[in-house]
Amino acid sequence: MGSMHTNLEEQVDGFVRLAAFYAERAAGGVGLIITGGVSPNESGILAPKRVILSRKQHVAEHQLITQAVHQYSTKICMQILHAGRYGYHSQIVAPSAIQAPIVPFIPHALSHEEIEQQIQDFVNCAGLALEAGYDGIEIMGSEGYLINQFICRHTNKRDDQWGGSFINRARFPLEIVRRIRQNFGENFIVIFRLSILDLVENGSDLQEVIALALALEKVGVNIINSGIGWHETRVPTIASVVPRASFSHITARVKNHINIPIVACNRINTPEIAEHILKENMADMVSMARPFLADSQFVNKASADQAETINTCIACNQACLDHIFVNKVASCLVNPRAGYETLLNFEPVDKPKKLAVVGSGPAGAMFAIYAAQRGHKVTLFEQSTTIGGQLNLAAKVPGKEEFKEFLRYIKQTLRQSTVDVQLGQSPSYSQLSEFDEVIIATGTNARNLEIPGSQHSKVVSYQDVIEENVEVGEKVAVIGTGGIAFDLVAKLTSTNTKSWSLLEKQQNFAAHWGIDYSNQVNGGLISSVDNSENSKQITMLQRKVRKPGAGLGKTTVWIHRKEFKRRGVKTLSLVKYVGISDQGLTLNIRGEDTVLEADSIIVCAGQQSHLSYDLTRFSQPVHIIGGANNVVGLDAKSAIESSAWLAAKI
């Protein structure tokens, strides 16, 4: 299990929760766990109040983690991470005083004496990790953090023994490893997270990456773990738009030159993909992080040849990385228990109830699954002929194809559960009166725009466009700039890759984003080639002045904005909608009427709750979940989360 930030450490009983989090993954069959990053000193923290291991008084709380994991015979290594110029505080340090584009602070350039102290702090931290019971450490040398900042010309402008030539730039990480190995012997695992593809200007090329890997091997590193991209990189590296295992090609190139194991990472989310990487000799080991958030039993299920039962990571980032950036606990859209192992559990009930669930979208279906796990007698009613609700639409959006995996998991789990699924059924009040409690999860409807001409033939629904039920003209007006509008524009501007092989998808992705898998020059960045098939003139419209997609997740919204700009999508703000006619859409912008010529007008102005039952007619308790309850800030994450907490207590 690869390292990932959880923000659990800063919570009340944080280390107790963290121990339970890792223990559940160990029980699920993970062989080696790498913890989230722990700073060796104050200057290295990512943000105020983040975890530091620099004193013996902190050892005991880490022992909670190691003891919990070791009861399952799983190895665990603590990652030592110094943020360098990526720290979000005023005390940050770096090899050179160059501000990161994603941080508002200018780092202090370390003196020779301060560099020596930093090295000693790494050694001290490693020793405390050993005392805490960790089997080893991973030194974070990638993703643009401090060590990576020393290695790269991009951030190291020094002209002393710590900068300039490659040998000098590599001195800092090599000294850290050498001294750790000298102090703690051969039985202490030392992993180095090496940036094998920086994806920034003046990044390391393959020759330097291999040279550093060989030097690290020589001074005592046991395992090289791959790192891809810096946090300031403007190339997607883990989002769902990245084809599976895209970066294993560069891992394979490094593997051919070293004698110690190398680990592949990034967008590996199924046993089949992991096995493919190993079988093709692209890596010696495979690392996953988010897939173990989605399903802690991933390894056990794969070992038992039950891959179809795995709750697959869909790479959405909505509850994991997006949470981290707003200081929330990392969790998972498809598994809201992740990060809440001590708080959210589906314990068996003493007295099972007869529960009716109306609606099989993400909220209703997952509630039914969770409630049935507890022993309740659940009947799931769905008026259509298929399970999944809005998930079926999401799975047809380019870049969201992984939602098909979640649909597969829901259907498979329902088949194996005791839930009585009734498709094509809208239960009457009489039918529902037979149940102890009723859960209404009937979802949402698209909000209509009430303006003159809204019934014009130019107006088409976003559902019909995404499902490819209608032809869309060349000039398109999209009313709205939120999540639905982004999905719609992605559908209209993306290349159809349904028939492509995985390799073809990987190659197209690399060309489109300017990635050189061979990493010959410039950190793997080359000129991009736009292979999109978009010929439409698209204008997105919004009432306010703000960036399109203002409410979307920070880790992925920039990808869509960059793509839309590249494909000529325009945005008009401060608009009022006057009417629709044969000429197009009449707008009032800052008091002046104008006609936007449009062949197709697509309304993406949000959703409204679909609640078709009169609650006063029920005599038993009724619970409303998901979009049927509240559309403010609604997404699949919040819908599933609300269903889980209700199922745990009903």
Active-site amino acid positions: 145
Residue 600 bridge partners (DSSP): 476
Q: Is 454 left (phi over 0), alpha (psi -120 to 50) or beta?
A: alpha
Among candidate residues 229, 228, 227, 223, the one with its CA nearest the CA of residue 262: 223
Helix (H, G, I), strand (E, B) or coil at 480: coil
Contact, 311 vs 28, CB < 8 A? no
**Alpha-carbon distances of 516 from 197, 235, 242, 512, rounded to whole Å:** 9, 12, 15, 11
Contact, 391 vs 406, CB < 8 A? yes
* Residue 182: burial class (beta carbons within 10 Å; 0-12, 13-18, 19+): exposed
What CA–CA distance (Å, rounded) separates 309 from 295?
10
**Alpha-carbon distances of 1 from 52, 89, 269, 290, 337, rounded to whole Å:** 21, 29, 12, 9, 18
Residue 581 in tokens = 């006619």
Helix (H, G, I), strand (E, B) or coil at 576: strand
Helix (H, G, I), strand (E, B) or coil at 586: strand
- Residue 474's CB is within 10 A of a number of other CB atoms, namely 11
Widest CA span in the chain: 83
What CA–CA distance (Å, rounded) separates 185 from 168?
26
For 302, how many CA atoms within 13 A lie in the half-sphere containing its CB? 19
Residues whose CB is less than 8 angstroms from the CB of residue 428 and which lie 6 or more positions away in sequence, other chains included: none
Amino acid letter, residue 315: A
* Residue 132: burial class (beta carbons within 10 Å; 0-12, 13-18, 19+): buried
Contact, 226 vs 94, CB < 8 A? no
**Alpha-carbon distances of 484 from 96, 461, 505, rounded to whole Å:** 43, 11, 25
Contact, 291 vs 268, CB < 8 A? yes
Residues whose CB is less than 8 angstroms from the CB of residue 182 and which lie 6 or more positions away in sequence, other chains included: none
Interstrand relation of 93-94 and 570-572 (parallel, antiparallel or unpaired): unpaired
* Residue 98: burial class (beta carbons within 10 Å; 0-12, 13-18, 19+): middle
